[in-house]
Amino acid sequence: MLAAATAAGEVGAKVALIDVDAGVVLAMLWRKMSFKEKVQLLGGALTGLVISKKTVERELERYENNEEQYLEALSSGFPTLKTILIDDRNKHMAERISALSTEYAEILAVVGDGHIPGIVQQLGQKQIETIRLRELRKSPEGGPGSAQYTSSFWCSDQ
């Protein structure tokens, strides 16, 4: 997000933060999660403190190879988490992009890779070009450490 904001400043583009405030999301998540989901999430968080970069890369590759299956597994194991962290935020971000498109002819949105399908679906008929994480990771400019967890899409009414 910082790289996107810096690049926007360099070309004189306006920056709009379109996501839901993280504090609001986390509070809602904790309030709505079942006890079982909370225990599983805390166990996963503790495990996450000791996993290697190689393990993270393997999970990222697994996601890239079958995004739909990965999100279905998330939904079955953590239904509240998927609804609040993915689905509700997709809807909110799509609404913000749609509102901004009444003001601006072109919009570049930088969002987490898992949000693109849902946001694109929410936006419906708008002309959208996407650049996915897997494309950034494979390009020569997108070497190690660059844009690891984000993707972008361009949206225009024209």
Sequence spans of domains, the chain: 2-156
Question: Which amino acid appears at position 46 of this protein?
Answer: L
Segments of the chain scoring below 70 in pLDDT: 136-137, 139-158
pLDDT of amino acid 141: 58
pLDDT of amino acid 124: 87
pLDDT of amino acid 2: 82
pLDDT of amino acid 144: 42
The angle at the Cα of 122, spanning 119 to 128, to the nearest 5 degrees, equals 60
pLDDT of amino acid 154: 55
pLDDT of amino acid 149: 42
Residue with structure tokens 């901004």? 100
Distance CA 51, CA 48 (A): 5
Give the chain's radius of gyration (CA, Å).
Answer: 17
pLDDT of amino acid 148: 43
